[in-house]
Structure 1
Amino acid sequence: MGLLGIIQLWHLRDKISIREIARRLDISRNTVRRYLRSETTEPSYSERRSVSGLDKYSVQLSRWLKAETTKPRKQRRNLKQIH
């Protein structure tokens, strides 16, 4: 059960005040009010996709890591050496 479901359950069934719900969940009273007014079942967030600086090296890094897993433990390079 998501956060919105908990808020609605406490407020409608258990008759807990908005202030008490906000205190228990450690969120703003305005957020609790907004969740109670909304008609959605769960808040939806847009997927954030930012370009990483490692994207252009991801293929090469994957090959290196696969090659390292086949080596014996003592012969593997550590993260500092790969960097």
Structure 2
Amino acid sequence: MLQFGSYVAIFFVVWWLCFVAVLPIRARSQIEAGSIVAGTEPAAPVLPRLWMRLGIATALAVVCTGLLLWALSNETLLRYWS
């Protein structure tokens, strides 16, 4: 059985992977939108919607972490992997 700190570390790594995977979904750059704001990077997103992306990444990370921890504790899978 893992300690609480191990669960937190696993969730943290899975969350970052999910967050990086969610970032480019439906992101439109200023170039694609045709409205470049002076003094900004043209490839910067028009509407970053970070709170929505944080929520989606968190929900996805909870599901992925749950599946990962289930797989690591499943007797059938443990016998198959060893």
TM bin, normalised by shorter chain, reads: under 0.3
Query: What TM-score, normalized by structure 2, do the two folds share?
Result: 0.24
Q: Which has the higher contact order (CA 8 A, sep 6+)?
A: 2
Larger Rg: 1
Return the structure number with greater helix share.
2
Q: Calculate the TM-score normalised by the size of structure 1.
A: 0.24
